[in-house]
Amino acid sequence: MKDYISIKPWKIVEDGFHPENSKISESIFSIGNGRMGQRGNFEETYSGLSLRGSYIAGIYYPDKTRVGWWKNGYPEYFAKVLNSVNWSSIEISIDGTEIDLAKHTPLHFRRELDMQAGVLNREFTVKLADKTIRAKTQRFCSMHRKNLGVIRYSLTAEEDCTIHIKSGLNGDVRNQDANYDEFFWQNTKADFHEQPIAWLSQETRKTNFGVYALCQHKWNSGMAAVKSNGTNHELYAGMEYEFRLKAGETLNFDKYSIILSDLYVKREDFANQGIREINEAYQAGFETLKDEQYSAWKAIWKNCDIEIEGDESAQQAIRFNIFQLFQTYTGDDARLNIGPKGFTGEKYGGSTYWDTEAYCIPFYLGTASPEVARNLLLYRYQQLPKAIENAEKLGFKNGAALYPMVTMNGEECHNEWEITFEEIHRNGAIAYAIYDYIRYTGDEDYMASNGLEVLIGIARFWAQRVNWSNDKKKFVMLGVTGPNEFENNVNNNWYTNYIAAWCMRYAAEQYNKLSKATSKRLLEIKAKTELDSSEVEQWLNIQSNMYFPFDAERNVFLQHDGFLDKELIPVSELPSSQRPIVEHWSWDRILRSCYIKQADVLQGFYFFEDDFDMEVHRRHFDFYEPFTVHESSLSPCIHSILANKIGNREKAYEFYLRTARLDLNDINNDTCDGCHITSMAGTWMTISKGFAGIRVRNEKLHLNPALPEKWHSIRFQLRFRENLFGIQIKNRSISVQNLEGPDSTIACYGQEFKVLKDHHIHIE
């Protein structure tokens, strides 16, 4: 654990000033509301190490990536969510000396993320020349008013002084990873709607998204500004104020900012709606807006909180993970998705990966209404035409669909060949998410309305991607990269072959199921896709004759052809000075090693666990985990779930802490780039699917819990179909309460129990 981060059940607290870790802290203390978000930067000027970032969901730029080794099929760009208008800046000077904690070390410093209330708090004391000032800030992105950001900056003078404040909207922003420091915005204008309401408008180059921001200020009654005037130029509009404070006096300076985008508001309506919303916020005032924020988060926590008794470190960690997930995505817009860093940083461009389907959808299924997960599926359905285009660029035909590894609008925008062309297993995750959603929610209608079309495109891709091997007398898949990205261009990656076969089988099953129902919708789909039963039979033939590499001596499936040609040295024998290997080894050495970045074969055992008995699970875990370096944030959660399944509770807990405190402890030495948002959903899975043992089988919810020895109990709520269950698990008992929905039957340790509406059961 970073020694300056205190362990509190509902708070992340940084005690003391630690400028050497400033970018790590900025990531950890990020805030957002699903519509917008920003890193935990200081409001006032800070000339030290920092990545100042404010981001708006869905606003991106296609940064050019065409380089000398460009080949046919490569994407033309890498999409990036843009660092947008800086609305939180408040420059402050005391008797002519500017507050800059990089130049004036604070006498006292404390930063606190209140996860229960959704508020970022900070307080510090600084001495500037002969004047000492105590400062306190409170900031949040409103969960109730999605376009609103709010700041209260309080200053208490220990001696008489003059305070100068400059606060406004700054459009001179750039992304940290921009090519050649490229500026992504154009047509910026800044002015006033009659002072003191400042506004700034700009649009993105190429994609032409429009953004409109406004801000207004208020301070405590009875205190008058000695001077006030507006300042504006092409990239900035704001107000400057001067106050005279006597010793002991406190100035509460409030800033209200409205950020609009043309994803939600027509440009011709920007000014009217912006003025209306800024005036409503101004009239409501800081305390009312803060109360709204607390109430909104209280409603969220009511359904998604996990209480852990006996382990404060684990308790803080799971709440931090849940908090960041709901700050990133609230599920009310099917055009949006979940970037690996959310609003906390710029790495990975803020684009959509297969992380959403494999990790995030299970989280939202259990903690939010079904519409949230359904919108994530609709995101992919709406992009099916683009997935077909992506496949066509690579030479596939007849409506075959290859979903992108990285995307904003459905078009592939990843420029590494081993990812773009070869890491095609992502197609399987898209199909699996449809299966997982329907199994969990019981929403069978989704298959006919949207799901089957996606499955058809995916099945067609797999059917064209395989080829028949006369040597093996099986269908094989050549030149792929599995989830283990430390292996490129291999033949017959077991996981890819297995999920491809499953996809074709599942698509055929669903087609045949709708055929038996003589569905009118199926006739529409057949006409639209030109699908006939002979093609479906072809899928079934391929999947039943797929090749899976296997070692008879060890009795394990092989990660890919040739895996045993490697020198099999366990990770435990690697010197710590060479870890992480991605930072110490050449890529050539990594590719020739046996080391596994993340669950690969074991990812398949996680998805398709019921296809294998316990002994097979144990044998494969024991073979592959010792070679796994877990240098992907997505790895520890899967290993925790599987370790718990085979009864290795010590390993399960070890991997839980690794995934849960990945960012808080900066385990991978990369939290400075942003938090690992999508793997945070995996942390929730380690508790729900791991320690609580939750599964869906035969249309029923099953629990098979096994808690870590350190934990006395866990308590959480879980949505399943029409029900909301309250679940408490102790070492020797389980309590289940039917909080919402009809009478239901659940299974605990394989035994079925009836849980009546508004009643609970207790199982010893």
Q: Map 504-566 to HEC letters.
A: HHHHHHHHHHHHHCCCHHHHHHHHHHCCCHHHHHHHHHHHHCECCCEECCCCEECCCCCHHHC
Three-state secondary-structure class, residue 693: coil
- pLDDT at residue 637 greater than cutoff 80: yes
CA 692 from chain centre, in angstroms, equals: 23
Say which residue, 762 or 179, is predicted with more confidence: 762
DSSP 268: G
Say which residue, 102 or 4, is predicted with more confidence: 102
Average pLDDT over residues 187-208: 93
Q: Are 52 and 42 in contact (CB under 8 A)?
A: no
β-bridge pairing 210-219 and 198-204: antiparallel
**Can you state the angle between helices 635-645 and 614-624, rounded to 10 degrees?**
140
DSSP string, 381-443: HHTHHHHHHHHHHTT--TT-----SSBSSSS-----HHHHTT-TTHHHHHHHHHHHHHHHH--
- pLDDT at residue 65 greater than cutoff 70: no
The one-letter amino acid at 208:
N
DSSP 365: H
Q: What is the pTM of this model?
A: 0.95
6-60 pLDDT, tens per residue? 899 999 999 999 999 999 999 999 999 999 999 999 999 999 999 999 999 999 9
Q: Are 450 and 437 in contact (CB under 8 A)?
A: no
**Pick from 656, 617, 620: nearest CA to 635:** 656
From CA 434, how far away is CA 288, in angstroms rounded?
41
Q: Which residue has the tokens 């969510």?
A: 81
- Kindly state the tokens that stand for 745: 């039957």
What is the pLDDT at residue 2?
A: 58
Q: Which residues contact 431 (CB under 8 A, 6 or more apart)?
A: 454, 455, 458, 499, 502, 503, 506, 507
Percent of the chain with pLDDT over 90: 85
Q: Are 179 and 243 in contact (CB under 8 A)?
A: no
- Kindly state the tokens that stand for 374: 């359904």
Domain ranges (residues) in the chain:
5-303
Q: Are 628 and 637 in contact (CB under 8 A)?
A: no
From CA 150, how far away is CA 277, in angstroms rounded?
13
Average pLDDT over residues 169-184: 84
Average pLDDT over residues 284-294: 98
From CA 503, how far away is CA 604, in angstroms rounded?
13
Q: Are 508 and 558 in contact (CB under 8 A)?
A: no
Distances (CA, A) of 481 to 77, 486, 493, 636: 21, 9, 7, 20
Q: Are 51 and 346 in contact (CB under 8 A)?
A: yes
- pLDDT at residue 4 greater than cutoff 90: no
**Pick from 317, 417, 326, 409: nearest CA to 372:** 326
From CA 412, how far away is CA 349, in angstroms rounded?
13
Helix, strand, coil % in the chain, rounded to nearest 5: 35, 25, 35
Residues tagged active-site: 485
Give the confidence band of 589 by pLDDT, cuts at 50, 70, 90: very high
Could you tell me which CATH class the domain 5-303 is placed in?
A: mainly beta
Average pLDDT over residues 691-718: 94
Can you give the length of the chain in residues?
Answer: 764
What is the pLDDT at residue 550?
A: 98
Average pLDDT over residues 92-98: 96
DSSP 20: G
605-624 pLDDT, tens per residue? 999 999 999 999 999 999 99
541-564 pLDDT, tens per residue? 999 999 999 999 999 999 999 999
- pLDDT at residue 69 greater than cutoff 60: no
Q: Which residues contact 700 (CB under 8 A, 6 or more apart)?
A: 745, 746, 747, 752
β-bridge pairing 185-192 and 198-204: antiparallel
Q: What is the CA radius of gyration of the chain?
A: 27
* Segment holding 189, helix H or strand E: strand 185-192
The one-letter amino acid at 617:
H
The number of beta carbons lying within 10 Å of the beta carbon of residue 137 is: 21
Give the confidence band of 505 by pLDDT, cuts at 50, 70, 90: very high
End-to-end CA, the chain = 36
- Kindly state the tokens that stand for 726: 């309250």
From CA 351, how far away is CA 359, in angstroms rounded?
15
DSSP string, 580-625: SHHHHS-HHHHHHS--BSS-SHHHHHHHTGGGS-HHHHHHHHHHHG
From CA 141, how far away is CA 118, in angstroms rounded?
8
360-398 pLDDT, tens per residue? 999 999 999 999 999 999 999 999 999 999 999 999 999
What is the pLDDT at residue 1?
A: 42
pLDDT averaged over every residue in the chain: 94
For residue 474, list its beta bridge partners: 469
